[in-house]
Structure 1
Amino acid sequence: MRLQDYRALSFDVYGTLIDWEAGIGAVLTPWAAEVGLELDEETLLRDYARHEADVEREHPQSLYPEVLAQAFTRTGQALGAEVDETWAARLGASVPDWPAFEDSRESLAALAEHFQLIILSNVHREGFEASNRRLATTPAAVVTAEDVGAYKPAEPHFAALDSTLRELGIAREEHLHVAQSLFHDHVPAARHGVDSVWINRRHARPGWGATPEPEGRWTYLAEYPSMEAFARAVREDEHI
């Protein structure tokens, strides 16, 4: 298909549009320095990643600030250093401070000229609303972890996406999912037969960062290093 043959795009937000690694690292790094851990940000993010995924799986009804705080506490325990309530609460409340990638806002505005935009995010409603002040987009629909009572890569987000597409009058083959995380997005998208493209924000860095290594099969139709590159491909109406 040509990219402009699609009618709707759904987006993961954190990692794709919002730089969640910068946001999380801005709390983990000074905490590590305070407790005497000589670990760089990449190492801290890698150690944190599996704990967040575990908390999300074990406590799917928890709001994202609670997930962040508990995952941080578990990370400290695994590293042999205490995360006190002040530090845990600081990470839990940090989502509004997380920066958008420099190309996100302009790219979303350009894409909105061609597509209906749908948010499909592992966050709570209040968190997305805060982040959207940086993105300045008006999505046709917003599906959060708070709405479905679960966190990707669990099934409920994609079940809700099917319902959303029906409500918008968009066929599945007219929809494309846009995401950075293979673990959270492309693996479940493959299970559901959802077309997707990979925004590989970490293309210049080794490892998985704040995202666990993917488990299971994943597919994607095309890979782009940034939202700017994806929006340019849409403008040029590339085939994928």
Structure 2
Amino acid sequence: MDDLKELFAKNRPTTLTFDCYGTLVDWEGGAAKALRNIYGFAEQLVSDDVLIDLFLELDALVIREGIFPYSAVLQIVADRIAEKLLGSPTPELSKAFPQSLPSWPVFAETNEALTQLSQHFRLAIISNVDDDLIAGTLTQISAPFDEVITSQQTSTYKPDRPIFEAALRKLDEEPGRIVHIAEGLGEARPATALGMKSVWVKRSKRSDDGSKAIPNANAPSLMAIVEAAQSSLVAPHQIKAGK
């Protein structure tokens, strides 16, 4: 595994792709708060940790059923959580859960880090989400993105390869000049298999998803990536005409 600074110094990337929810957005805090607001779950009934573990378990199961769009996945997940905790699903309430996603907060470092990185790299997002939901999230982010690739556009979910392949086609860049940055360890596998470099942002105890994927480097935060990029003296990128 490369040192983070070495990764930038050796590969001179032009493009950074990001997972959004978990890497740029505090999805754990946002989802837990939304579920409590919608259903009135008391802390005596369920802790945030248990609530998020339930969300992760059910989200992974529903995604593997091949259900699109992701807003439908979120609604089913909310129904199943209500069934587990309250005894029955409540469809009239579960519809509000996907609508809450654009309000899930970005991390405190996100805007500063992306603003600095955008001075040197093209930025893109690869996300398991719907176009309208991520459009709401992006109103919280001040830095520009060259491309936003979603599961709605590609009819596939990470960590499957097709959504990464779609990103490569859109970005029209050599894979080795792209660094994919994600909080979930499993995203390193498809990214590196396609020739991209991968940085794992270890934000929480859930960042290790058990995939045993091997990223090129680890980072504790986005600002650590900024520092590594700056220390490698990466020059501002030159985007080709028409790109």
TM-score range relative to shorter protein:
0.7 to 0.9
CA contact (8 A) 2:176 2:195 kept: no
Aligned-residue CA RMSD (Å): 2.3
Equivalent position of 2:200 in the other structure: 198
Structure 1 30/165 Cα, relative in aligned 2: closer, same or farther at 3 Å?
A: closer
**Correspondent of 1:145 among 148, 151, 159:** 151
Q: What residue in structure 2 maps to residue 39 of structure 1?
A: 46
Q: Displacement, 1:34?
A: 4.2
Per the TM alignment, residue 229 of structure 1 is displaced from its structure 2 partner at its CA by: 1.6
Alignment of 1:81-160 (within 5 A): 81-160=87-166
**In structure 2, distance between residues paired with 1:116 and 1:36:** 42
Aligned length: 227
Mapped partners of 2:26, 2:60: distance in 1: 18
Structure 2, gaps ≥5 residues long: 1-5, 235-243
Tell me which of 68, 74, 78 is aligned to 2:80: 74
Residue in structure 2 matched with residue 179 of structure 1 by the alignment? 182
The TM-score normalised by the length of structure 1 is 0.85
Q: Distance in 2 between matches of 1:212 and 1:200?
A: 8
CA displacement at 1:57 relative to structure 2: 1.7
The corresponding residue for 1:236 is: 231
1:128 positional shift: 1.3
Distance 1:171 1:88, change over 3 A: same
CA–CA distance in structure 2, aligned partners of residues 141 and 34 of structure 1: 37
Q: Distance in 1 between matches of 2:89 and 2:144?
A: 37
CA contact (8 A) 1:52 1:71 kept: yes
Q: 2:63 aligns with which of 56, 61, 64?
A: 56
Q: Calculate percent identity across the aligned residue pairs.
A: 27
Q: Does 1:213 align with 2:218?
A: no
**TM-score with structure 2 setting the length:** 0.84
